[in-house]
Amino acid sequence: MVELRKLAVDYPRGSGRSADRVRVPAVAGADAVFNSGGISAIVGPSGCGKTSLVHAVAGLLVPSSGEALIDDRKVAGVRAKTAVIFQDYGLLPWRTVEGNAELPLALAGLGRAERRSRVGPLLEELGLAAFRDFYPAKLSGGMKQRVAIARALAAEPDLLLMDEPFSSLDALTREAAQEFLLEVRRSRPLTILVVTHSIEEAAYLAETVFVMSGRNPGTIRERFDVPENAAAARFAPGSRRDDFRATPRYLKLCAAIRSSLRGAGPTEDGATS
Amino acid sequence: MSQLEAGLRKAAGVVLAALVLVALWALAAAALSKPFLPGPALALAAFWRLASNGTLGLHAGASASRVLWALAVSFVPAATLGLAAGRSPRLDAVVSPLVYILHPLPKAAFLPIILLVFGLGEASKIFLVGLIVFSQILVSARDSARRVPRQLIDSVRSLGASRLELAVLVVVPASLPDLLTSLRVSLGTAVAVLFLAETFATVTGLGYLIVDSWSRVAYAEMYAAIIALSLLGLGLFAAVDAAERLLCPWHSYRT
Ligand SMILES: Nc1ncnc2c1ncn2[C@@H]1O[C@H](COP(=O)(O)OP(=O)(O)OP(=O)(O)O)[C@@H](O)[C@H]1O
Ligand SMILES: [Mg+2]
């Protein structure tokens, strides 16, 4: 279980090199609980602090106050079992598909043979086996996305943080990627947190949707529970369900999230209400 | 396949440019008909004569060894310091002011002082050429390291990489193409300055050969030495290209 308690993040104003002590708040007073084994989503307008929040959970930055807890332990620095997928995938251009996927294992000090034998089946599962020697620049967006997932899974994480993972994919690839993520979750126990701009995506994927609002600082303003998307119902062996998106309940949920976002202070183009 | 093709096309381009140059040279020589501009045929004959009696080899070897030593002692320290400065604001606060003073200086003008400090031997020539390479590599390493996308750093940091691992896995490979490009640029300057350095206090090197044949009014030999110096520059360029293909196989795909 991941828990945020009055989490606040701020940044030094300017480039950070000057002696300027003034700090700009990015997130303040964020409270949330992300259930173990489930998918949670965070939606919110640009600049409301979604990335900052994810980085705090990932241990990539130190909160200015409050805390993030993973399984009741305070996050203090990078954690081996937390995997992060960044918006632009964060793949190293000078490493091949295989080289990128095995990076966490290389950093853990595993030998070449061991790395290969662990990454091989993953690449197979993700449909990347034929591309193992390609450099990322040669891949389509959807494939880069899968390499990023392969890399995240190689470390056998229990928590997967995804910062707008699908936003640069075209509509069809994006839908395929969503299915793919559900498939990945079905085959291993994982807690997943997805940051997204898409209301429809959040409502389709997550059992809990958190709406963020405000700017400098932003905070978590509202929470929507979606029992239809609960892990027990969706990922249990043999469970099958009809497309949630075809139900009236889904449309109502989207509308509710949308109006929550609308009432949520600054709009996309920065105009304050 | 396509890479070989590209290489061939590049080589063909170089040959074509050389042919055009030689043709222009022949025209100019015929038009002027002055002793200080012999035609390419005379110069090439002298080139052949000096090459086969070992004179060119001796001098070109001396010049090449100076450039390579200068590179060897300046490239790695400059790249290391520059990359570190680009990633560490604290180090940068020391290095950048230094760069602002060092970089725009006309370093060749300091040759007399360098000769006084390092003596008349090899050290002063290597130092001068090395100084020029050093400041150019330092600047481009720093700027390149600053440009490494934050997200790339974060993504590898999230895998638990240490600072050293970040440097090796991210900062160095990200900057390598820029470093090689600035190496190419500074090699051009290095060869020019090498010529200057070799006109003092030495009896070896292509620079010496050029000035010596000039003072002997052996113009054909002078041009032979100039051709050799150009070829040395070309060879160094080709070597950097080869290094880039070897070290950055991913880079050719980026465009
Ligand atoms: N490294 C940084 N230095 C200074 N300020 C920053 C930094 N990163 C983010 N901020 C500021 O913090 C606030 C929140 O940024 P953040 O990137 O977390 O928002 P976001 O919700 O992820 O936005 P987007 O949807 O555009 O990705 C913004 O006002 C931004 O200007
Ligand atoms: Mg963001």
ipTM surpassing 0.90? no
Residue B236: name the closest of B43, B4, B71 by CA.
B71
Q: What is the mean pLDDT of residues B75-92?
A: 94
Which of the residues B91, B146, B155 would you substitute to probe the A interface, choosing the one with the greatest number of A C-beta atoms within 10 Å? B155
Considering only residues B120 and A139, tell me which one the structure prediction assigns the higher pLDDT: A139
C-alpha distance from B78 to closest chain A C-alpha (Å):
23
pLDDT of residue A194: 96
Residue B94: band (very low, low, confident or very high) from pLDDT cuts 50, 70, 90: very high
Show the tokens assigned to B39.
Answer: 């035609």
Q: Which atom of ligand 1 is nearest to the CA of A195?
A: 22
Gyration radius of chain A over CA positions: 19
The pTM score is 0.84
Question: Ligand 1 centre from A11 Cα, in Å?
Answer: 9
pLDDT, tens digit, 9 for 90 and up, residues A228-271 = 888 877 787 766 667 888 889 999 999 999 999 987 554 444 43
pLDDT, tens digit, 9 for 90 and up, residues B114-166 = 888 998 888 999 999 998 889 889 999 999 999 999 999 999 999 999 999 99
Question: Ligand 1 centre from A218 Cα, in Å?
Answer: 10
The answer to whether A83 contacts B169, with C-beta atoms less than 8 Å apart, is no
Average pLDDT across chain B, whole number: 90
What does the alpha-carbon distance between residue A71 and residue A78 come to, in Å, rounded to a whole number? 15
| Mutational pocket test of ligand 1: of A4, A10, A43, A50, the residue with most ligand atoms within 8 Å of the beta carbon | A50
pLDDT of residue A82: 95
Ion ligand 2: residues, Cβ under 5 Å: A 51
pLDDT of residue A15: 60
Q: What is the mean pLDDT of residues B179-190?
A: 90
B148 touches chain A (CB under 8 A): no
What does the alpha-carbon distance between residue A69 and residue A66 come to, in Å, rounded to a whole number? 10
Residue identifier of the C-alpha nearest atom 31 of ligand 1: A47
What does the alpha-carbon distance between residue A133 and residue B250 come to, in Å, rounded to a whole number? 11
Strands (E), B45-162: none
Amino acid at B139: V
DSSP SS3 for A263: coil
pLDDT, tens digit, 9 for 90 and up, residues A16-66 = 555 557 889 999 999 999 999 999 999 999 999 999 999 999 999 999 999
On the question of pLDDT at A273 being above 50, the answer is no
Task: Determine if ligand 1 sits within 6 Å of the CB of residue A49.
Answer: yes
pLDDT, tens digit, 9 for 90 and up, residues A149-172 = 999 999 999 999 999 988 888 888
C-alpha distance from A86 to closest chain B C-alpha (Å):
7
Q: Taking a C-beta distance cutoff of 8 angstroms, is the pair A1, A35 a contact?
A: yes
Q: Which atom of ligand 1 is nearest to the CA of B150?
A: 1
Task: Determine if ligand 1 sits within 6 Å of the CB of residue A52.
Answer: yes
Amino acid at B108: A
What does the alpha-carbon distance between residue A65 and residue A3 come to, in Å, rounded to a whole number? 14
pLDDT of residue A19: 52
Q: What is the mean pLDDT of residues B231-238?
A: 91
Whether the ω angle into residue A217 lies within 30 degrees of 0, i.e. cis, is: yes
What does the alpha-carbon distance between residue A103 and residue B112 come to, in Å, rounded to a whole number? 52
Q: What is the mean pLDDT of residues A191-212?
A: 94
Considering only residues B217 and A20, tell me which one the structure prediction assigns the higher pLDDT: B217
C-alpha distance from B158 to closest chain A C-alpha (Å):
6
DSSP SS3 for A223: strand
Considering only residues A241 and A76, tell me which one the structure prediction assigns the higher pLDDT: A76
On the question of pLDDT at B252 being above 50, the answer is yes
pLDDT of residue A220: 94
Amino acid at A267: T
Q: What is the mean pLDDT of residues B234-244?
A: 91
What does the alpha-carbon distance between residue A130 and residue B161 come to, in Å, rounded to a whole number? 28
Question: Ligand 2 centre from A268 Cα, in Å?
Answer: 13
Residue identifier of the C-alpha nearest atom 30 of ligand 1: A47
